[in-house]
Amino acid sequence: MPSERERRFAGPRRGQLIFALIMVGLALLLLALIGEQTAWVQKTKLFAQPRFWPAVAIGGMVLLGGLHLYKLPWRRISRNDLREVKRWGQVLEFAGWFMGYVLLVPLIGYLPVTLVFMPLLSWRMGYRRPFMLWTSAAFAVAVVLLFKAFLSVKIPGALLYEYLPGPLRTFFILYL
């Protein structure tokens, strides 16, 4: 049975307690590490100290996050909170796709990795018709040509290109 204070709360409830706990925890971690990450310079004015303004900002994060936790009208985690955290976690999937792409480009090459990832991401996003998959592959080729050939963006050659014969290797490194 919700209390009177919980019923009067006007804002959205889902995920707030977990978010506040995470933010206060991260702020406390930053505050604990501030001595290692910043310096205190002797014979320097207080406001010019390299540690002063970061300490003010992180101290404010701890204080205001703690006040937010104190003012929340509930102290227990519900199923709605866990559903909300799951939705936050779904965003990390695409960060994983990006990190995989970034890690594979120096090994396999810009064009092959882009040609694989574009249709895979199109499939993941729900575009599963052959026309859309071929369109995404064509777009991948257009992106590589635009960046490498026309804009001359310097993207390192892949480790795989080292096994190609001389002139073909040079062409792949410069244009693909």
* Assigned domain for 83 exists: no
**pLDDT tens digits for range 66-86:** 999 998 887 888 888 899 999
Question: For residue 63, what are the domain limits?
Answer: 4-77
Residue 93: how many other CB atoms lie within 10 Å: 10
Exposure string of 95-128, with b = 16+ CB inside 10 Å and e = fewer, is: eeeeeebeebbeebbbbbbbbebbbebbeeeeee
Q: Answer with the one of 32, 49, 77 that is the final residue of a domain.
A: 77
Residue 43 pLDDT: 85
67 shares a domain with 33: yes
**pLDDT tens digits for range 17-27:** 899 999 999 99
* Assigned domain for 84 exists: no
**pLDDT tens digits for range 43-67:** 888 888 888 999 999 999 999 999 9
Average pLDDT in the 121-145 region?
A: 95
More confident residue, 42 or 11: 42
* Assigned domain for 87 exists: no
Residue in this structure with the two tokens 């995404």, named with its chain if needed: 136
Number of domains into which the chain is organized = 2
112 shares a domain with 166: yes
